[in-house]
């Protein structure tokens, strides 16, 4: 990596109690399970063995992401900054519920402007928020950055980086950020060149 390039790693949090209970988490706040903590520790161990280093970590304030960031960053001695821009999508009335607890009908067809859970963000709003969050990193000096966040917002982050427009009705590419999956990118601002270097979860079988 040259001095002018950015290295940005996007990491989804470890397993949360909401994941374990098959809930629509959104911005409802669930802590990690013990398995989620083990996933974060396994990743920290892998990165330490590979001598991975970051200048700064940005984390969502939601417990499942913040706790993941604290485990990893404590192990690797990385400073952590909480940034609400990296919170999970606001899924409105769905937040914290399971399928069988929803007492309203979701639209049969969702446009990029349809709000999740009637009162949440639309896919377009999530996409724009992801773009602003990336911009906030690139407004800083070039360096090695870690982002600890959530599956929904990270999928829209990939859309923004890859110049994919938000799709209707869950169509289009999906980026399967399982718990503690991470994506390593390099960005050269001189040529606006993003390179995906690694998409991995090999630390946790």
In a domain, 1, yes or no: no
DSSP 5-67: -EEEEEEE---BHHHHTT-B-TTS--PBPHHHHHHHHHHHHHHHHTT---SEEEE-SSHHHHH
Segment 35-39 long-range contacts (CB within 8 Å, at least 24 positions apart)? 36/64, 36/67, 36/68, 36/179, 36/180, 37/67, 37/71, 38/14, 38/204, 39/14, 39/15, 39/179, 39/180, 39/203, 39/204
How many structural domains are present in the chain?
Answer: 1
What is residue 3's predicted lDDT score, i.e. its pLDDT?
57
pLDDT under 50 in the chain at which residues? 1-2
| Bridge partner residues of 145 (DSSP) | 8, 56
Question: Cα Rg for the chain, rounded, in angstroms?
Answer: 17
- How is residue 92 written in tokens? 């409105």
- The answer to whether residue 168 is domain-embedded is yes
147 forms beta bridges with 10, 58
How far is Cα 160 from Cα 115, in angstroms, rounded to an integer? 19
pLDDT at 1: 47
- Residue 205 within a domain: no
DSSP for 70-127, written as a single string: HHHHHHHT--EEE-GGGSPP--GGGTTB-GGG--SPPPSS--TTPBTTTTS-BHHHHH
Q: Residue 117: give its domain's CATH number.
A: 3.40.50.1240
Minimal CA–CA distance to 8: which of 175, 189, 170, 163?
Answer: 189
User: Exposed/middle/buried for 84, CB within 10 Å: 0-12, 13-18, 19+?
Assistant: exposed
DSSP-based three-state secondary structure for 195: strand
What is the pLDDT, as a whole number, of residue 44?
98
> In this structure, is residue 164 part of a structural domain?
yes
This prediction's pTM: 0.95
The residue among 184, 183, 187 whose CA lies nearest residue 175 is: 183
Q: Which pLDDT score, from 0 to 100, does residue 4 have?
A: 82
Task: Please tell me the predicted confidence (pLDDT) of residue 88.
Answer: 98
Q: Which domain holds residue 163?
A: 6-200
Q: What is the pLDDT of residue 203?
A: 87
Residue 142 counted as domain residue: yes
């Amino acid at each position: 990596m040259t001095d002018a390039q950015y290295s940005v790693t996007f990491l989804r949090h470890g397993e949360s109690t909401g994941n374990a209970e098959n809930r629509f988490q959104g911005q409802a706040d669930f802590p990690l399970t013990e398995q989620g903590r083990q996933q974060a520790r396994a990743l920290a161990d892998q990165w330490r063995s590979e001598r991975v280093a970051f200048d700064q970590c940005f984390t969502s304030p939601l417990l499942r992401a913040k706790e993941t960031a604290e485990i990893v960053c404590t192990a690797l001695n990385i400073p952590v900054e909480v940034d609400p821009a990296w919170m999970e999508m606001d899924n409105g009335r769905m937040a914290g519920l399971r399928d069988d607890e929803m007492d309203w009908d979701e639209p049969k067809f969702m446009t990029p402007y349809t709000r999740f859970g009637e009162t949440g963000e639309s896919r377009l709003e999530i996409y724009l928020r992801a773009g602003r969050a990336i911009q906030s990193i690139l407004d800083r000096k070039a360096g090695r950055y870690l982002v600890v966040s959530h599956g929904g917002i990270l999928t829209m982050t990939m859309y923004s980086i890859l110049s994919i427009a938000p799709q209707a009705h869950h169509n289009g590419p999906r980026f399967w950020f399982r718990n503690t999956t991470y994506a390593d990118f390099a960005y050269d601002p001189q040529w606006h060149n993003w390179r995906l270097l690694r998409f991995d979860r090999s630390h946790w079988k």
